Amino acid sequence: MQLRIGLLGGGSWGTTVGSLLARNTPTLLWARNRDTVAEINEQHTNKTYLPDARLSAKLTATADLEKATREADVLVVGIPSQGFRGVLEEAAPYVRPWVPVISLSKGLEQGSRLRMTQIIDEVLPGHPSGVLTGPNLAREIMSGFAAASVIAMEDEVIVKALQKVFHSGLFRVYTNTDVIGCELGGALKNIIAIAAGMGDGLGAGDNTRAAVITRGLAELSRLGMAMGGKSATFAGLAGMGDLVATCTSAQSRNRYVGEQLGKGRELSEIIAEMNMVAEGVKSVPAVKELAREYAIEMPIVDEVHRVVQEGGKAGGAFRGLLRIGSGAESDPG
């Protein structure tokens, strides 16, 4: 029997995952925008978020949240982190018991500092929760390029069953039971990508970018392991893989924000012109608070916070990083 998928969210990644899933099993995507719904159903495109992509003709869409949710055997949530809880609470009355819920979001909720699976556990207690994450640039996947992802859940039986549902052609999906590490890798790398982008905007060069990526990996690994993640996760697709893709690709929203900041533009102006969310901007206050709580030194995060939350300049951020003393590579900072 084929599993019926309800997918909430019609952005670039939600639409991409929906198109991949539809190749394997009936998939109904929910979006608030009725024009987007009509375009997916009638033209098999979503030009606002994936301008050159052709979606699977098997993917269908609806603006009716109850319809997308009530018959779903698996619920996939592709809503940005700050709207995640609200949409899930709207959908909660229609979700059948024990249906697994998989997050596509890479962020932390402001205020609560919760990961998305923690929000799922709060809003839908008793439902197996998980995350799909990794170095996944939506436009490349829709263009047919090979990519690899990780689906993480604590239940090994369920995660292996869902692996087959998400795996599609050149989109390879691996399993992991380290939900904490996989989610934190996805959330924290966005902040490091802003730092890498600032360096690109300032013309800092490839050596600097490599240093930011490598030291950034050390930062996110330290915090991630302090919070319960496993070191192997941060060396894999959900950690290093996602970090490299997000810090180097011209398609990366977070790197783009950093690059534009490096060129001297104001954050409000950059955000206003984007039709997609740069999760790192929203997550950095929560990460800074977590670093303080767990007594983890995160100088790159501190400098990104100073720029995006306190109005500092990108050039000053890099001067601040250079002023930090260097010791053994294994030391913090």
Q: How many CB atoms lie within 10 A of CB 2?
A: 9
Structure tokens at 207: 């050596």
Report the DSSP beta bridge partners of residue 27.
Answer: 5
In the numeric block, the tokens 């950095």 are attached to 284
**For this structure, is 282 an active site residue?**
no
Q: Phi-psi bin for 205: left (phi > 0), alpha (psi -120 to 50), beta?
A: left
Q: What is the DSSP string of 126-157?
A: TS-EEEEESS--HHHHHTT--EEEEEEES-HH
Q: What is the 3-state secondary structure (H, E, C) of 260-302?
A: HHHCCCCHHHHHHCCCCCCHHHHHHHHHHHHHHHCCCCCHHHH
- C-alpha span between 128 and 96 (Å, rounded): 12
Dihedral sign, CA of 217, 220, 223, 225? negative
List helix spans (H) across 72-205. 81-91, 116-123, 138-142, 156-166, 179-201
Structure tokens at 30: 């929910």
Active-site entry in 189, 230, 282, 288: 189
3-state SS class at 273: coil
- C-alpha span between 99 and 7 (Å, rounded): 13
φ, ψ dihedrals at 105, nearest 5°: -85, 145
Point out the residues that are catalytic.
189
